Amino acid sequence: MTYELTIDQKPTYLHAIVTGRNSRENVARYLEAILRECSARRCFRVLIEEHLDGPRLGTLEVFEIASEGSSRAFGRLEAIAYVDVNAAGDLMQFAETVAVNRALPVSVFSSVTEAEKWLVGKDREGAEPHAAAAELYRSVS
């Protein structure tokens, strides 16, 4: 394993901080580890703060990770706020779109502060930005 995962329990969500080498395998592994932690702690909202070093993943790899991860997490998480501090371009927005189209409640942010505000706001009525996509997915599946 060439990454380190730190989990900080907040009152209403888990804050997962991942550091290490950027690779398809590491991303898939840490996402699975976070899902296990959420289940074990019965906390279904998570802020993922990614600090992986190295070349960015390609579009196909990002699509596959987002698709596979969405399948595993479907119905198990209420909200995922994602911050990739080394993100460049629109690839993280693409990953968000792939996940949201599979009814995963995820949103990508450029800062931890923005992500925290979104997660805290999930308690308020109308704070679900992707509710329509999730409802559409449920109605056709």
For residues 80 and 57, what is the distance between their CA atoms, to the nearest angstrom?
A: 20
Q: pLDDT grade, residue 123 (50/70/90)? A: low
**DSSP secondary-structure letter at 40?**
H
Closest to 112 measured CA to CA, from 5, 12, 16, 3? 16
For residues 52 and 46, what is the distance between their CA atoms, to the nearest angstrom?
A: 18
- According to the model, what pLDDT value does residue 30 have? 94
Per-residue model confidence as pLDDT tens digits over 39-77: 999 999 999 999 999 998 888 898 888 888 888 888 889
Give the global pTM. Answer: 0.80
Which amino acid is it at 59? T
CA distances for 3 relative to 15, 42, 48, 49, 89, angstroms: 16, 24, 14, 13, 23
